[in-house]
């Protein structure tokens, strides 16, 4: 996922192109890590004084719906990152300090034969937490 194809996806789905949306996408493409709504706001409000939290949240949700961003929840707050380029199903190593990530190619679900016959499995989450080299 990159800014250009994200903007195209917006247009293809009937959403408008705005400077704020483009700047949000650019931010995510530059910072390859999980960002909170607050971090996104702070990064943009120099250029847009009076930028509303509502705008941030609305667009983050939209981007998530369009699979431009992926989301995780950490310490009671949502964090978003640019969807990975690869289509390969995978998981992440996440820095608890700065949100930086590394890929984990293995998916535990592949190995585990869930004989959970009476359980209708709809999803799973596998995340490994720690601190990146810069944050240790």
x/- track of binding to its own copies for residues 62-81 (CB under 8 A): -----------x--x-x---
Are 81 and 69 in contact by the 8 Å Cβ rule? The answer is yes
48 binds DNA (CB under 7 A): yes
Q: Which of 90, 95, 101, 107 binds Zn ion (CB under 5 A)?
A: 95
The Cα 89–Cα 35 span in angstroms is 21
The Cα 19–Cα 60 span in angstroms is 15
81 binds Zn ion (CB under 5 A): no
Q: Which residues bind its own copies (CB under 8 A)?
A: 73, 76, 78, 93, 95-96, 102, 104, 106, 108-109, 111-112, 114, 116, 118-133, 136
């Amino acid at each position: 996922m990159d800014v250009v194809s994200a903007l195209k996806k917006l247009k293809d789905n009937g959403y408008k192109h705005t400077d704020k949306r483009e700047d949000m996408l650019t931010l995510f493409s530059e910072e390859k890590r999980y960002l909170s709504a607050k971090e996104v706001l702070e990064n943009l409000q120099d250029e847009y004084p009076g930028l509303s939290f509502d705008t941030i949240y609305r667009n983050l949700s939209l981007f998530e719906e369009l699979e431009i961003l992926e989301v995780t929840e950490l310490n009671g707050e949502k964090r978003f990152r640019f969807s990975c380029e690869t289509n390969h199903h995978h998981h992440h190593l996440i820095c608890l300090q700065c949100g930086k990530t590394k890929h984990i190619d293995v998916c535990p679900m592949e190995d585990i034969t869930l004989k959970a016959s009476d359980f209708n499995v709809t999803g799973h989450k596998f995340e490994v937490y720690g601190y990146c080299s810069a944050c240790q």
